[in-house]
Amino acid sequence: MPSSFRLGLCQITVEPSKDINLLSAKEAVKNAVSLGCSLVCLPEMFNCPYGNNFFPLYAEEFPSGETIKTLASLAREHSIYLVGGSIPERDQTNLYNSSFIFGPNGDLLAQHRKVHLFDIDIEGGITFKESDTLSPGNQITFFDTPFCRVGVAICYDIRFPEFLRLMALKGIQLLILPAAFNMTTGPAHWELTMRARALDNQIYVAAISPARNPQADYIAYGHSLVTTPWGEVLVQADEKPRIITADIDLDYLTKVRQQLPLLKHRREQVYCDKK
């Protein structure tokens, strides 16, 4: 098993046109591959402006949706693992915020439906309620590569430590998080949260945001980043369209876990509610 591999995060601008967004995604993935990336990731809701009024209009069904077919084709064309950010997915009468993950042959490896819906009301900041249109998923998601086991979650999922701990206990060494923190939560919590989950679980965390679009109704923070199992920022973008890469060193992860064996020192019998 290789001890390292290169990861690419595609921070693209999301426009009102799905066609333009898909063209941006194709170009970004191509560029990431040219930089030597074997695992490439796109942002949350990359084919669709982020808003409850847009989700039903842009929603696609698996496997016939235009975006879904494009993702499969990109993975196959470039022989990469591709985490297709997320898109609005329609399944019968329900809509989900879903990530589709494809392997080098263009086969679907996994699908994650956002488990924790973003229903918030911050005084003087932002109010949003995903549950007005979206339904929640109900499972953790991971897939295996020749490099390591990779977990996938979406945005607000990262704020629930017990959810990420379940994934770590299932053996993930890298978490991919398509996410769109905003201009209220981003400056306050973006880097802090990614570093904390990486440190808690001794994993790499790669969070991929859309680029900041001041003309959008919902303005993403940007700053896509990768954090290490030691809780450090390995690489981080600014708010503009960017492709950033990170070399994921699994020997380093093993060393961190050996020197500070947090997961081995857990005492589950103490944590159980005995009332």
Active site (catalytic) residues: 44, 114, 155
Residue 24 three-state SS: helix
Residue 188 three-state SS: helix
Residues 6+ apart with CB under 8 A from 255: none
Residue 254 three-state SS: helix
Q: Side by side, which strands form the sheet with 233-236?
A: 141-144, 149-152, 174-178, 204-208, 225-227, 233-236
Q: Take residue 104 and report the two structure tokens written for it.
A: 């080098």
Q: Take residue 93 and report the two structure tokens written for it.
A: 């009468």
Of 150, 148, 162, 69, the closest CA to residue 115 belongs to: 162
